[in-house]
Structure 1
Amino acid sequence: MKLSNTLQGYQKDWLSADISAGLIVAIVIVPQAIAYAMLAGLPPQSGLYAALLPAIFYALAGTSPTLAVGPVAVVSLMTLESVKAFAAPGSDDFIALSATLALLVAAFYLLYFMVDLGRWTTFISHSVISAFTSAAAILILLNQIKYFTGLSIPRSGHVWEPLTYSASHSSEIVPQALMISVLGLLLLWGWQRYAARLLARSALPKSVTNILAKAGPLLLVGGGIIATQAGQLPVSTVGHIPGGLPSLQFPALFSHDWQGLLPSAAVIALIGYLESLSVGNSMARAQGIRLQANQELLALALANAASAISRGYPVAGGFGRSMVNFSAGARSQMSSIVMASTLALVCLFATDWFATLPHAILGVIVALAVWPLIRFQDGWHAWRFRKSDGLVWLATFTAVLLMGAEQGILLGMMLSLALYLKRTSEPHIAEIGRFADSDHFRNVLRHQVTTCPEVLMVRIDENLYFANSQFLLDYIAQRLQDKPQVRHVVLVGSAINYIDFSGFEALSHLLSELHDKQIELHLAEFKGPVMDQINKTDLLERLQPGRVFFTASEALRHLGNV
């Protein structure tokens, strides 16, 4: 397989745009990385490390020129849920296991790459992904309540614990933390909504206005730090962040309970890939390019391996940062290298600046980042279109809230598969007839068509396989019971693209039953690949005097003179 990336064939006139975009994304990612590390139960430097080397390693193999890989909200939450069963959040063991989890995620990405999983991602329905991200976003928002209120809310595992605990301990809420949170939410929301259009009216250069329009989180961080230092506010803060670059070391697999992390790693890799691919494809369409879906798995494997050896945790392509990178005019993954270089300077020289950053500010940044992920309208639209799809959305959403991220998405996938099998086991089957004087055939229940009393023409609108073969036999048996004068049955296979052995056995059984009733079976409009399979058997010999017709029109004209 020939691999390529967006750095091949690099053009010099791209450099200024990539440098500008990289600097803008660096402004966004510093507070986000710290906030997402907090969400994952890790110290702030883990988020910075997870945003550093992974971005560079993705650039070496990624096929999206603007996808920004690093810590993301949903994967951060899943990391917390996965690792806290084995170690206390924030402890040395928790940090080590999070790096181990990133290595296992990288291994699963590599496995998915080898089995060409990129071709199979469509088996996970949009309803499952939408419900999962919506529920995960709500869990993330609930996790921020402790920072908004300044309360030490225990981790009981009950989804509504942050709300109930806050209500029962309302007298203990820290007013300063609540005030910072409310003001921060209003200011950051207003900046994201109005800053760009207001700055566009100013006389500032466009390059400056682009940076300022995306600098809302960093400005909020600066304001929070100044307010805390100047007012000596009694709120919890980030505290000391060790300076310097991460020391590179391979996670010690055999000194931890890494086997227990395998199911979580498999699910995190799948979710991270789907999120990354969704974001990458949305930008690729606007850029007029096409991502190499399977190579993205390899690129994400490299990124997560880099995070593991640099004491980070699982990473993926983030929607917010990627869209900032795209709108800032990035032309290639050189922008990610610029971002990582800038972040390295922060790690070396500026970590002390964030020691007095209030946790409430980080909670605000996380809350506004995940709010767009809550999409109840997707569930409503799915329900209106098909109730079974709405049921999948609701079941997945509820399961993620009550059972956890991994169990919820697995339940959603299993329910989707079960409903799919149910639908295909009871396919649409229609008795058809000639429409007017044309060669078109339509359902006798929907249209005024011409039929022949002695010819029953049946069309099955589904592949013929083990789950629905008996349904076809029952349908034809019922129609023959209602029409005893039938002497010919024509099975129209225009919608059959695949037939398995059970489907063949059903045709063979149908042929035998019809012979016993002195009724001839005929086939019409069966496709070449299906006929290739049938030709491997003796069915066509046993079919005689029944025939194989090229079209349904030919069959009705020959058998019924219609």
Structure 2
Amino acid sequence: MQDLANPPAGRAQPIVQARAPRYSTEWAKADVVAGLTVAAVVIPKALAYATVAGLPIQVGLYTAFLPMIIYAFLGTSRPLSVSTSATLAILTAAALGKVVPDGNLAALTTATATLTALVGITLVLASLLRLGFVANFISDPVLTGFKAGIAIVIVVDQLPKLLGIHFEKGNFVHNVYGILAGLPHLSVTTLAVGAATVGLLVTMEHLWPKAPAPLIAVAAGIAGVALLDLSSHGVGLVGKVPTGLPALTLPDQSMILALWPAAVGIALMSFTETVAAGRAFVRDDEPMPSANRELLATGAANLGGALLGAMPGGGGTTQTAVNRLAGARTQVAELVTAAGTLCTMLVLAPFIALMPHATLAAVVIVYSVGLIDPAEFRAILAIRRTEFVWALAAVVGVVLLGTLQGIVLAIAISLLALAHQVADPALHVLARKPGTRLFRATSPEHPDDEKIDGLLILRPEGRIYFANAARLGHKISHLISQADPRVIVLDLRAVFDLEYTALKMLIAAEKKTRSSGREIWLVGLTPGVMELIRRSPLHDSLGSGRMFARLEDAVAKFEAGAKAGGATPSGA
């Protein structure tokens, strides 16, 4: 394993030396405790998420087994715990529902293996192409909205199981109507089981956050069925769960074309969640997870899981947090969690058969609601109202258009937001702080800042290129017509690149300005921008007398020329 070759610092003596990776007995104890603790959280949630995906419950166990082992050997995050998540489950359900609408078990198993393998292939290819940066294409506000939308969809999907009502599922609006129409026919006993589970989970999360709340809730549900014979009172049970290792499952080539689009979207979300969870819980003494290596690790984990019929997986924030809080030191903790899953498949499957559907639904709902972060929405609104609108658009897109369409919308909104920002670069008018040589952007907070008669100082920011040069030129022209200066100083310290189209526009603007009796001076050119200008006609037009390293030098030259006679200080 990668981590064992470079383990975290510890005082205990290594038990293996020479060429073998060093590992400490102190780390082993911490990893075993953490791994078992995480197993108590992951296994019930994986079972629940399998039902969200519309798959047999044992698929959740398969997803929490081999993918964990593979990631432990290939991943770069020490605490990251890999199985599946609510987001991936609902995306999987949408994808499988299109290729296996009748829910045929054999076809569903094959489709699941095909989808998971395609997700794995997508992630591995992205790693080989070094596309780790792609995860950054979904902005935080849009991702916040996307996850909130996913949570709403999951809650609506699971509520019928919590209430004990039945109807044919459809789109979001149809499902909401079905729930409302079915309320008079709900099962009071089923609702009581679900409500008790929700109450237990919420109480434990608040009072004993380190306790394996999902495991205790599931155990309580199974005990209630065994002791109170709840099935005779209308409480639906999971039913028989196969005991033993899963059979080898091979993908079906005929399903590839139908599942590829969904696989790409699921791969993106898997990678985004994986990197977010890995980065969120890295310690100061640990290396930051490598994005491209994480693509490879999660891709291989999905490919391996596909052979066992597992659903698409990735790193989970909740289980990773539990792993870290429980004291995990290396990825050995994940191997221990996988061993706990194996024990469940071989020994504990008969007990899982007694689990109420309402209990699983309650587990899903409680942890899915956690995807909705009102504080984050408020923070976005307080900082930028526009990005708050983007977050809401992502919510609405997921809820009304569907999860797969929602992820496309989320990416589109993020890219449009990026395009909007780069197409309208910031442009500041600078003024001098009284009694100093400090120049800063004009602001209502500094009404006494000094503007110099005849001099307009502008500071654009960012890359200036064909998509924003015209917009920037229009804003500069407007400011010039308002101020009517003799000299326009462009402070380009915040401009790191000047594209050819933009350079041509600047050359034309300088010529036009000079013909109108004004001058353009340039200040603070970066080496790259300076080299571009040096190779263009603009360099000869400006000469050394109108290009400056510092803004203070340009201002001093203008003021000296103004004192000398009020004329434009060209070439002084």
Matched with 1:185 is: 198
Contact 2:524/2:548 (CA < 8 Å) preserved in 1?
Answer: yes
For residues 244-272 of structure 1, the C-alpha deviation after alignment (integer angstroms, 9 at most, x for no partner) is 112234312x2x32212222111111111
Matched with 1:283 is: 281
2:281 & 2:195 partners in 1: Cα distance?
33
1:117 & 1:294 partners in 2: Cα distance?
7
2:452 & 2:355 partners in 1: Cα distance?
82
The alignment's TM-score, normalised by the length of structure 2, stands at 0.89
For residues 76-103 of structure 1, the C-alpha deviation after alignment (integer angstroms, 9 at most, x for no partner) is 1100011101103362212211111111
Contact 1:224/1:357 (CA < 8 Å) preserved in 2?
Answer: no
Which residues in structure 2 correspond to 1:38-77 (within 5 Å)? 38-77=51-90
1:482 & 1:32 partners in 2: Cα distance?
63
More deviation, 120-129/51-60: 120-129
1:524 & 1:291 partners in 2: Cα distance?
40
Deviation at 1:373, TM superposition (A): 1.0
1:322 & 1:419 partners in 2: Cα distance?
31
Alpha carbons of structure 1 residues 115 and 440: separation in structure 2 relative to 1, 3 Å: farther
Alpha carbons of structure 1 residues 51 and 503: separation in structure 2 relative to 1, 3 Å: same
More deviation, 264-273/85-94: 85-94
For residues 47-95 of structure 1, the C-alpha deviation after alignment (integer angstroms, 9 at most, x for no partner) is 1111110000000111122211012111011000111011033622122
Counterpart selection for 1:383 from 381, 401, 420: 381
2:129 is equivalent to residue 131 of structure 1: no
Contact 1:137/1:373 (CA < 8 Å) preserved in 2?
Answer: yes
Matched with 1:207 is: none
Other structure's SS at 1:64 match:
coil
Deviation at 1:194, TM superposition (A): 2.5
2:183 is equivalent to residue 170 of structure 1: yes
Deviation at 1:224, TM superposition (A): 4.0
2:40 & 2:420 partners in 1: Cα distance?
50
Which residues in structure 2 correspond to 1:282-431 (within 5 Å)? 282-285=280-283, 288-431=286-429
More deviation, 56-65/515-524: 515-524
Contact 1:145/1:162 (CA < 8 Å) preserved in 2?
Answer: no
Alpha carbons of structure 1 residues 341 and 545: separation in structure 2 relative to 1, 3 Å: closer
Alpha carbons of structure 1 residues 323 and 217: separation in structure 2 relative to 1, 3 Å: farther
For residues 9-49 of structure 1, the C-alpha deviation after alignment (integer angstroms, 9 at most, x for no partner) is 43232112212222222222332221111110000111111
Contact 1:520/1:545 (CA < 8 Å) preserved in 2?
Answer: no
More deviation, 13-22/231-240: 231-240
Deviation at 1:549, TM superposition (A): 0.5
Deviation at 1:502, TM superposition (A): 2.1
For residues 153-205 of structure 1, the C-alpha deviation after alignment (integer angstroms, 9 at most, x for no partner) is 21122x13333223223332222211211122112322333246xxxxxxxxx
2:287 & 2:379 partners in 1: Cα distance?
30
For residues 207-238 of structure 1, the C-alpha deviation after alignment (integer angstroms, 9 at most, x for no partner) is xxx77677423433432442464763322211
Alpha carbons of structure 1 residues 247 and 487: separation in structure 2 relative to 1, 3 Å: same
Q: Which residue identity is paired with 1:557?
A: A
Which residues in structure 2 correspond to 1:213-292 (within 5 Å)? 215-227=215-227, 229=229, 232-252=232-252, 254=253, 256-285=254-283, 288-292=286-290
1:522 & 1:91 partners in 2: Cα distance?
73
2:78 is equivalent to residue 79 of structure 1: no
Matched with 1:550 is: 549
Counterpart selection for 1:147 from 131, 152, 161: 161
More deviation, 393-402/241-250: 241-250
Contact 1:66/1:330 (CA < 8 Å) preserved in 2?
Answer: yes
2:494 is equivalent to residue 501 of structure 1: no
Q: Which residue identity is paired with 1:329?
A: G
Deviation at 1:311, TM superposition (A): 0.8
Q: Which residue identity is paired with 1:507?
A: L
Alpha carbons of structure 1 residues 413 and 241: separation in structure 2 relative to 1, 3 Å: same
More deviation, 323-332/118-127: 118-127
Q: Which residue identity is paired with 2:363?
A: I
1:230 & 1:263 partners in 2: Cα distance?
43
For residues 382-420 of structure 1, the C-alpha deviation after alignment (integer angstroms, 9 at most, x for no partner) is 123211111101111111100012222322332233233
Counterpart selection for 2:125 from 97, 101, 111: 111
Which residues in structure 2 correspond to 1:377-526 (within 5 Å)? 377-443=375-441, 446-484=446-484, 486-526=485-525
Q: How many residues align?
A: 543
Deviation at 1:558, TM superposition (A): 1.5
Q: Which residue identity is paired with 2:297?
A: A
1:212 & 1:557 partners in 2: Cα distance?
69
Alpha carbons of structure 1 residues 428 and 188: separation in structure 2 relative to 1, 3 Å: closer
Other structure's SS at 1:84 match:
helix
Deviation at 1:551, TM superposition (A): 1.0
Alpha carbons of structure 1 residues 42 and 394: separation in structure 2 relative to 1, 3 Å: same
Q: Which residue identity is paired with 1:237?
A: L
More deviation, 142-151/389-398: 142-151
Other structure's SS at 1:489 match:
strand
Contact 1:388/1:419 (CA < 8 Å) preserved in 2?
Answer: no
Other structure's SS at 2:282 match:
helix
Alpha carbons of structure 1 residues 227 and 139: separation in structure 2 relative to 1, 3 Å: farther
1:239 & 1:387 partners in 2: Cα distance?
49
Q: Which residue identity is paired with 1:318?
A: G
For residues 490-537 of structure 1, the C-alpha deviation after alignment (integer angstroms, 9 at most, x for no partner) is 211121112212221221121221232243322111112221233333
1:363 & 1:285 partners in 2: Cα distance?
34
Other structure's SS at 2:281 match:
helix
1:98 & 1:372 partners in 2: Cα distance?
27
Deviation at 1:468, TM superposition (A): 2.4
Other structure's SS at 2:98 match:
coil
2:41 & 2:483 partners in 1: Cα distance?
72
1:355 & 1:127 partners in 2: Cα distance?
41
Unpaired segments of 5 or more residues in structure 2? 6-20, 563-572
Contact 1:6/1:62 (CA < 8 Å) preserved in 2?
Answer: no
Matched with 1:24 is: 37
Q: Which residue identity is paired with 1:462?
A: G
More deviation, 56-65/121-130: 121-130
More deviation, 233-242/49-58: 233-242
More deviation, 525-534/475-484: 475-484
Q: Identity over the aligned pairs, expressed in percent?
A: 27
2:427 & 2:488 partners in 1: Cα distance?
14
Alpha carbons of structure 1 residues 248 and 535: separation in structure 2 relative to 1, 3 Å: farther
